[in-house]
Structure 1
Amino acid sequence: MNVQTPEPSRRAGGRREATRRKLFEAAVTLISEQGYGDTTVDEIAERAGVAKGTVYYNFGGKDELYASLMEWGVTRLADTLREAVPEPEVEPRRALAEVLRAGVVFIGTHEALARLLMAETWRTNRSWYATVRQIRTQAIGVITDQLDTMVERGLTRPDLDTALAGSALFGMVVTVALDWRTLQPERSVEEIHTTLAHMADGLIGSPSSPY
């Protein structure tokens, strides 16, 4: 049997991605524990098990690493939500519920990363706008798409502001999930999701709802 050996460039690319992932995970852990300002490049490299120069080679410095980390985190979240979208024949309200559940599970699994992403939305430096915009277009966009489908099929109010409702639902997912992990970790994800789904139904309403 012939087994093709990966091309050198592909192997190098795979190693680099693995290194970047280790650096991201190390940075998430350290920054969530002690804050961005108190976390050094030396500490990130040590936690990731690489040389300090590796950080500079891959990112240029701590600020660039952090900006790339934010982009990576939002992409992971958005991909998770997108992958949760069922087949087109699935009833849209149920499809939306599956997307919201995926968000709860993601935040429960990657709590430190989620907290960093949410904290970034309140920062006032240059990276703030880029992160918020990426959350809006990628992560919240998945929710908004489901709401648009519901409006198109007459399954909710025709005047529903889907962009605003999408942001509201995303905020609910984040708040409920972090509250769950921080204050009520003994509750099951299904219990949390059921409550969230009921809240979502109340927000988006039905075709005949006057509000």
Structure 2
Amino acid sequence: MSFENYGDDMDPGKRDIMEATHIAVKKHGYSDLTIQHIADEFDRSKALIYYHYDGRDDLLVDFLKYILGGFLATLPEEGSSPREELDDLIELLLPTTVNEEPYRLMLSMFELRMNAPHDEAVREQYLEVEERVRMVLEDILRRGIESNEFVDVDVEVEAETLLSLLIGIRARRLTVYNPEQSIEPLKATIDAYLDRISTAVE
């Protein structure tokens, strides 16, 4: 995920902290991450981190917002065909293989997600992202039906189904697959589902 043009409206100090955290998380993961790890990637005073945040958990809530906001900024825009947009979104969420550092970031976000039942701020972040992705899916499906790429389906139900498939497969990848292992068999499930709602199977 590229953050080159994301976060320009943030406080510069906080953005520097988020970028340092981004690097540190990819190196160390969530469980082993410390403020010192973040400070090691930060070219300003460690005291600035504590000026903005009480500690690691407080900082990670902001980092989650930063990462998820960056993800939302990368969602495919309308332009190609609805089926191609859907394929692009699936590839964004479920790349067939990943390198070690991106995998650590994905795993860290998954571990943060597990805090949602106990942390309202984390829960709200994931609810917002899921709602945005659901809206994107509904829009793609609706336009696909109008252009006769998809059969006439209940858009809300199918978007919820797709969202659950994507989240479930992403969770399986992070819990039972090695980072470099291809998840092509898992993605074949989504391909088969899309073929069933498509008007023409490629």
Same fold (TM over 0.5): yes
- C-alpha distance in 1 between matches for 2:134 and 2:153: 20
Summarize the alignment of residues 20-39 of structure 1 with structure 2, pairs less than 5 Å apart.
20-27=18-25, 29-32=27-30, 34=32, 39=33
- Asked if the contact 1:122/1:128 (under 8 Å) is kept, the reply is no
| 1:77 equivalent in structure 2 | 71
| 1:133 equivalent in structure 2 | 127
- C-alpha distance in 2 between matches for 1:13 and 1:106: 35
Q: Which has the higher contact order (CA 8 A, sep 6+)?
A: 2
Give the superposed CA RMSD.
3.7
- Asked if the contact 2:86/2:140 (under 8 Å) is kept, the reply is yes
Deviations 1:136-164 (A, max 9, x none): 12344433432232244452332241441
Q: Answer yes or no: is 1:164 the counterpart of 2:160.
A: yes
Structure 2 residues not aligned, in runs of 5+: 1-7
Deviations 1:62-87 (A, max 9, x none): 2221101111111222222x2x3451
Match of 2:106 among 106, 114, 125: 114
- C-alpha distance in 1 between matches for 2:122 and 2:11: 29
TM-superposed deviation, 1:198: 1.6
- C-alpha distance in 2 between matches for 1:52 and 1:139: 36
Match of 1:95 among 82, 85, 93: 85
TM-superposed deviation, 1:197: 5.2
Amino acid at match of 2:170: V
- C-alpha distance in 2 between matches for 1:13 and 1:132: 23
Deviations 1:108-130 (A, max 9, x none): 36222222222233322223321
Higher helix share: 1
% same residue: 14
| 1:183 equivalent in structure 2 | 178
Match of 1:61 among 55, 58, 65: 55
CA 1:111–1:31: 2 relative to 1, 3 Å = closer
- Asked if the contact 1:176/1:196 (under 8 Å) is kept, the reply is no
Structure 1 residues not aligned, in runs of 5+: 1-9
TM-score computed with the length of structure 1 as normaliser: 0.66
